[in-house]
Structure 1
Amino acid sequence: MTQQLQDEFDSSVENAEAWMKAIQERLRINDNTKGPRSALEARLRETEKIRALEPEGSLKMDLILVKADAALHSIGEDKKHEVLSKLKDIKALWEETAIYITHCHSRIEWVWLQWSEYLKVQDEFYTWIHNMRVTLEPDIELQLGLKEKQWQLHHAQVLLNDVLNHSGLLERLLEEADSLCSRIGDPSVDEDVQKKMRMEYEGIRDEAKRRVELLEKITKEHERYSTNVNRFQSWLSDVIERFNCCCTGETTKSSAEDKLKALKEIAKNVRSGGKKWKHLENQCAEVIQNTSPLGAERMKDELEELRKALEKLSLLTSEEEERLLKIQQLQSAYESQARQLEANIQELRKNLQRLENDLDPGEEEKTEDEFVTLWRKCNATRTALAAEEPKVERLKTQLKELLRFPQDMHLHTESVVSAIQQYQSVRGKISKMSTDTESQLRRLFQNPLQHFEQWKPTVQMLLATPEPDLAHIEAALAESSQFKEKLMTLQLKKDLLNDVFGEEKAKSFLQEVAEASKEREILHKSLLQSKSKLQNLISQHKDFDAGFAPLQKKLSAIKAKLDLEKEPRPDLLGKKTQLQRLQMIQDELTELVIQMEEVEKLVQSNTAHRHEMNQFSSDLQALRRSLEIMIQQSEDQVQKHWVYNDKLSDLQQWITVTMEKIESCQSAEGEQNTEGRAADLEETKISHGKANEGEN
């Protein structure tokens, strides 16, 4: 049995060795890249078949390994070396065969692919050669004009660039052909084929260069002619423009003698233009030879139009001399009216500049009172600007009267337009500043209400908390007092709100403020109750004396504060500050009442304490009534002082505007201007009087 296993192993090794050597022989026969493409393809197919047999070799090796394993388990140690040696040799032979299969097939396949890619690129190259030959073969077509010739030249340059860009492709093809030639030795890629490819490319390249050079010559010749025509047209336009300056009055400041001199110079230039035109005619004859018939006709027509224009200019030059005498007669009247127009323009500009300078808002941050002052100043300036509108219309009328003169109105028109634009600019600036200021005032007035609406949910959430923090309650109370002051201040500005918002919107806004004040009062009382409850929880272990003494002390302190506020204040700021302090004292009394109510709970069964609490309550109510009277009186004083300040500001603005107009009247010259200034002052006085009546 042991001998049989060893024989089977030896037989499998011999069988596999014979198969591998047969495969290597077939590979050796096909391991060659030389020869025609059909032979290379046949060798490629043969190596593909051999590579397909590689799994068979793997099976043979697997069989050998199985037989070797069986033999090694059954034979003695003295014969194992022989089996292992044969196993090692057959493994090496199989590895060599497998590598040979892969390398041989890959080498032939790579040469096949390289050849295929070369043939594909070669076909594309020869297709391009054919297309370029078809494109360059026809003769150059005559074009209509310069633009068409430039397009034709550009197209030829594009073709040349395409040809030059293909030189790289040619070089790569030649390198590839040379590489293939060394590998396959086929005549289809030998040196003669490479030379033929280069010669065909160079023929295309030379033809493309020749065409570009010819078209460049034709185009440059036409460009020179076109440049000369443009220069002649520019010269002719310049002469016509100089002539038109004399005809249309653009040189009316000069004398008739100067104009006649200018006309003679123009006539001299016109005569020299005849020689220039003749040179163009000779040059045109050369360009026409390389131009299409229709283009040649257009060039001839263009030259003829230039000749006619030159003759017409010569005729008009002689006729213009007769017109100069009439210009002299109108010159004097024109200058007088022009001076008057410029004087009126300067006067208007001066007034507009003064109004604009008075309205510099500055860049610094402004208080509410400063915004109110600026807003009133804008309104006063708009009234003063409206008085300048008749002067603008007067300028337009004067300009229309000047238009009947033959002189150039360009400068006067620009001056009038500039003055009107300055007027419109100042009006727009004043309107924008007034609108912006009004928007700022509206924002400032609406801010407290908006902030209150943002603050209210926070307080409601705080009150809804089962055990709020005492510090949060006290902070909310402080903010509530601030809101009370701001909302009360808004209610005192009814007249100003009517001016800024309008009566209807101001009424609606004040209603919102009043509703917010009521909501704030409710929230404030709720906060005080919450605070008192918290404090009661903290101090409920203390007796009545410990709770009553602070009440008496706080009541005394409030009385002392109230006594200090009985003295009247001289100005609006002092009165407003005093009102705010009284309102803060009112909040303290409200808080004291709540604290008193909490202390009263401790004296239900104590007669002596009840008497003290009744006396304290009586004193507190008396102090509260006295405080309410003082607050009402203070509010009335603030409202009256506020109205007084508004009217005083209006009067100061009116006095400023009136003083500026008086100064302007004093600096004006002529009886007519003085009467006009007086009329303006009277109108301003009447309009201010009506405005004051409306306010009253």
Structure 2
Amino acid sequence: WEDSVFQTQSCLENLVSQMALSEQEFSGQVAQLEQALEQFSALLKTWAQQLTLLEGKNTDEEIVECWHKGQEILDALQKAEPRTEDLKSQLNELCRFSRDLSTYSGKVSGLIKEYNCLCLQASKGCQNKEQILQQRFRKAFRDFQQWLVNAKITTAKCFDIPQNISEVSTSLQKIQEFLSESENGQHKLNMMLSKGELLSTLLTKEKAKGIQAKVTAAKEDWKNFHSNLHQKESALENLKIQMKDFEVSAEPIQDWLSKTEKMVHESSNRLYDLPAKRREQQKLQVMSPPPRSPI
């Protein structure tokens, strides 16, 4: 009987010892989990505050800067994903113990949910900022294209063949006035170039190529349009000089024609007999046009 009691006592002591060890192990793992939860919670709080600071920006430069910062936060969040798996593993380890783990389970699931929400917030924030810059670039591109179309319509008649010096002067004046007031078009082009350059820093290589193609085409259109206007301006100036020189050289001939017309008109009033007709014919025959100046 004494042996039986001793054996029972020994078993109870072993059980108490095991329970003590189990309690110690449980407490250690709980402390480890709580520390991991605290560290991860602090990180999430920091990232949430940083994301909040990126909202409410308006200028293109601010949006680009916030996009890059948001992308950095998103990268950090994605690199922190193994922490969520580690929390799940630690929680599963505690399931070996016959304890109520609802408190720890709630903390783990709550932090993982917060983590997923922050990932979504950071991702959408970057997407929204990219979309804003895309829209602004498209608007600037359309504004420039519309200005260019209107400019070509406005100056189209200047490229028609002028029939006289008055039309030459009118077309020349219109081109010169347009060139002196083309700052608006230059401003629209510069706006589009600036927005395209900023947008390209956010995009993938393929998307950036598409933006650069539009920018290059717009610059070429502007260059060709201005070049055509300057060429036409030069051509009209030369034509105006030639027409003026022609008018000067044609003045003696015009004077001679006027005098001849007057003489013919006067002589027709005196053609009442044959001798008079012969005398008038001789007068007209001796008249000759003045020598023409080289044009």
Q: TM-score band, normalised by the shorter chain?
A: 0.5 to 0.7
Name the CA shift for 1:348/1:601 in 2 (closer, same or farther; >3 Å).
same
**Is the aligned partner of 1:441 residue 2:133?**
yes
**Alpha-carbon offset, residue 602 of structure 1:** 4.9
Structure 1 residue 395: Cα displacement = 0.7
- Is the 8 Å Cα contact of residues 438 and 500 (structure 1) preserved in structure 2? yes
Aligned to 2:214, which of 512, 536, 540? Answer: 512
Distance of aligned partners of 1:402 and 1:365 in 2 relative to their CA distance in 1, 3 Å threshold: closer
Q: 1:560-595 CA deviation, whole Å, 9 max, x = no partner?
A: xxxxxxxxxxxxxxxxxxxxxxxxxxxxxx5xx866
Indicate the residue corresponding to 1:428 in structure 2: 120
Q: Percent identity?
A: 22
CA distance in structure 1 between the aligned counterparts of 2:55 and 2:66, rounded to whole angstroms = 13
- 1:366 deviates by 2.1
> How far has the Cα of 1:600 moved from its partner?
4.1
2:188 is aligned with 1:483: yes
Deviations 1:127-185 (A, max 9, x none): xxxxxxxxxxxxxxxxxxxxxxxxxxxxxxxxxxxxxxxxxxxxxxxxxxxxxxxxxxx
Pick aligned residue for 2:25 from 333, 342, 347: 333
The one-letter amino acid of 2:82's match is: P
1:183-582 correspondence to structure 2 within 5 Å: 330-361=22-53, 363-464=55-156, 473=178, 477-489=182-194, 493=197, 497=200, 499-525=201-227, 529=229
- The one-letter amino acid of 2:185's match is S
Structure showing greater Rg: 1
- Verify the 8 A CA contact 2:70 2:125 in the aligned structure 1: yes
Q: Distance in 2 between matches of 1:400 and 1:425?
A: 23
Residue 334 of structure 1: how far off its partner (Å): 2.6
Deviations 1:481-527 (A, max 9, x none): 21332355467x39x61x4232222222222222222223344456x
**Structure 2 CA distance for aligned equivalents of residues 344 and 417 of structure 1:** 13
8 Å Cα contact 1:442-1:500 kept in structure 2: no
Does the C-alpha gap of structure 1 residues 525 and 483 become closer, same or farther in structure 2, counting only changes over 3 Å? farther
Where 1:405 maps in the other structure, the secondary structure is coil
- Code of the residue aligned with 1:505 in structure 2: it is K
Equivalent AA in structure 2 for residue 513 of structure 1: V
CA shift, 1:421, in A, is 0.9
Contact 1:355 1:381 in 2 (8 A): yes
- Contact (CA 8 Å) 1:381, 1:430: kept in 2 or not? yes
Q: For 2:180 and 2:150, how far apart are their aligned partners in 1?
A: 12
Determine the C-alpha separation between the residues in 1 that align with 2:126 and 2:42: 22
Aligned to 1:501, the other structure's residue is in SS state: coil
Q: Shift of residue 434 of structure 1?
A: 1.5
Distance in 2 between residues matched to 1:451 and 1:520, nearest whole Å: 13
| CA–CA distance in structure 2, aligned partners of residues 475 and 367 of structure 1 | 30
Q: CA-to-partner distance for each residue in 1:438-477, whole Å, 9 max, x for gaps?
A: 2223233333212223334433443456899969957972
* TM-score using structure 2 length: 0.60
Note closer, same or farther for the CA distance 1:486–1:327 as it changes in structure 2 (3 Å cut): same
CA distance in 1, matches of 2:127, 2:216: 27
Contact 1:378–1:433 under 8 Å retained in 2 = yes
Change (3 A) 1:425 1:487: closer
Alignment of 1:65-76 (within 5 A): none
Tell me the secondary structure at the aligned position of residue 52 of structure 2. coil
Verify the 8 A CA contact 1:477 1:524 in the aligned structure 2: no
| CA distance in structure 2 between the aligned counterparts of 1:460 and 1:470, rounded to whole angstroms | 12
Aligned partner of residue 406 in structure 1, secondary structure: coil
Deviation by residue 1:235-255 (Cα, 9 ceiling, x = unmatched) = xxxxxxxxxxxxxxxxxxxxx
Q: 1:512 to 1:421 in 2, by over 3 A?
A: same
SS of the aligned residue for 1:437 comes to: helix
Distance 1:490 1:438, change over 3 A: closer
**Count of paired positions:** 215
Letter in 2 for 1:521: K
The answer on whether the counterparts of 1:375 and 1:434 sit within 8 Å (CA) in structure 2 is: yes
Deviation at 1:336, TM superposition (A): 2.9
State the one-letter code of the partner of 1:347. Q
Distance 1:382 1:509, change over 3 A: same
Q: What is the SS of the residue equivalent to 1:453? A: helix
1:369 partner letter: E
1:599 CA drift (Å):
4.3
| CA distance in 2: counterparts of 1:457 and 1:595, whole angstroms | 19
Equivalent-residue separation in structure 1 for 2:195 and 2:106 (angstroms) = 51
Unaligned runs of 5+ in 2: 1-15, 159-169, 246-295
| Other structure's SS at 2:51 match | coil
Partner of 2:258: none
Q: CA deviation at 1:411?
A: 1.0
Is contact 1:379-1:434 (8 Å) kept? Answer: yes
Give runs of aligned pairs for residues 26-175 of structure 1, distance below 5 A.
none
Letter of the aligned partner of 2:109 in structure 1?
Answer: V
Q: Is the 8 A contact 1:359 1:378 kept in 2?
A: yes
| SS of corresponding position for 1:408 | coil
Q: Distance in 2 between matches of 1:504 and 1:362?
A: 27
Structure 2: how far apart are the matches of 1:384 and 1:353?
Answer: 13
- SS of 1:358's equivalent? helix
